[in-house]
Amino acid sequence: MHPPVRLAAIDMDGTLLPSFGHEVSRRNAEALRAAQRAGIVVAIATGRRTAFATPLFEKLGLRADMPLITSNGAVIRTLGGEPIDHWTLGVEVARGLCGLLRGFGVLVFTFDKPGRSELVLEDLSRASGRMELWVEANRDAIEVVERLEPAFDRGEPIQGMVAGAVHPVREAEKAIAASPWSDACECIRTEYPARDLAILDLLPRGVSKGAALARLARRLGVERKETLAIGDNWNDVDMLEWAGQAVIMGDAARELRAMARLRGWKQAPGHDHNGVAVVLEAAVARLVNAQKQVTEGGRT
């Protein structure tokens, strides 16, 4: 039997957030607060950048020291803005990936600085259609440049991204695997089949949600078996594999749900049915019960 949860890492899109909009539901928000009150460290683990994620949680009454694992593990900060960890993709690697990947979809690089120029790309028109929602959500941070390579003169990016239809993005992943850059970066794919949209994140070597969660747990003195991870997509897999207690969302892709059954991961209700709250409420109840047993045992 698993011990009570002391650290819970929760994905955002497709897990904590609903299908439409970027508002955490009332029940999910209360579950986050209840977990914190019970002594569980709640960490958000997302492919989104910090500047996008932070405003979604600032108004929910959560602790300022809540960790945010963003850009798929490249940056860890607290909700209050205190830095914890940070990694960058080398300039030489970024330039090499530009030459390799331009033909596969929209190529974007992220710099860890707020405001316009945080996201840099060459052709905004290619991001129309299936990426229109992403463009609208990030418009204030986007800078369009004639060519990407000179943008790296300003510093090292924290990640790159190729986005487009599912098949070309999968081909981009194969192209990297067969290239000289295969050992220089991590490729983490996220897919939304209903929209025929895939995102291939290009990260510094050794960076992922799972690696970031492992580092955070060590920093907090939390054991793997006391760590819970909740996710729904391919970029959550290594986080789910590392955590001693893993939960996949009920509306995750069929292949992921099959993987979950083989690996013994639990399944939560879908993200539009407060699946995160269901899992956290059970975790809090177990923790409170364990604490009560310890207290009562000390009285005998």
| pLDDT at position 201 | 94
For the chain, the domain total comes to 2
Please tell me whether residues 200 and 221 are part of one structural domain.
Answer: no
1 in a structural domain: no
146 in a structural domain: yes
Per-residue pLDDT at 300 exceeds 80: no
Please tell me whether residues 149 and 198 are part of one structural domain.
Answer: yes
179 in a structural domain: yes
2 in a structural domain: no
175 in a structural domain: yes
Please tell me whether residues 234 and 196 are part of one structural domain.
Answer: no
Q: Are strands 185-192 and 197-204 parallel, antiparallel or unpaired?
A: antiparallel
pLDDT digits (tens, 9 = 90+) for 92-105: 999 999 999 988 98
Where is pLDDT greater, at 290 or 242? 242
282 in a structural domain: yes
CA-CA distance, 154 to 229, in Å (whole number)? 36
pTM (two decimals): 0.91
Please tell me whether residues 136 and 279 are part of one structural domain.
Answer: no
Please tell me whether residues 50 and 96 are part of one structural domain.
Answer: no
pLDDT digits (tens, 9 = 90+) for 265-275: 999 999 999 99
Please tell me whether residues 123 and 137 are part of one structural domain.
Answer: yes
Please tell me whether residues 113 and 143 are part of one structural domain.
Answer: yes
Region of residue 38 (left: phi > 0; alpha: psi -120 to 50; beta: else): alpha
From 142, 174, 204, the end of a domain falls on: 204
41-57: average pLDDT: 94
Please tell me whether residues 191 and 136 are part of one structural domain.
Answer: yes
From 163, 188, 204, the end of a domain falls on: 204
pLDDT digits (tens, 9 = 90+) for 117-132: 899 999 877 776 778 8
Please tell me whether residues 213 and 279 are part of one structural domain.
Answer: yes
Please tell me whether residues 40 and 78 are part of one structural domain.
Answer: yes
142 in a structural domain: yes
192: domain CATH number? 3.30.1240.10
From 145, 170, 204, the end of a domain falls on: 204
Instruction: Please report which confidence band the pLDDT of residue 136 belongs to, taking 50, 70 and 90 as the band edges.
Output: confident
Please tell me whether residues 158 and 135 are part of one structural domain.
Answer: yes
pLDDT digits (tens, 9 = 90+) for 212-230: 999 999 999 999 999 999 9
Of all residues in the chain, the percent with pLDDT exceeding 70 is 98
Domain of 265 in residue numbering reads as 7-86+208-299
Please tell me whether residues 187 and 43 are part of one structural domain.
Answer: no
280: domain CATH number? 3.40.50.1000
CA-CA distance, 252 to 41, in Å (whole number)? 25
70 in a structural domain: yes
Q: How many CA within 13 A on the CB side of residue 51? A: 16
142-158: average pLDDT: 93
Instruction: Please report which confidence band the pLDDT of residue 299 belongs to, taking 50, 70 and 90 as the band edges.
Output: low
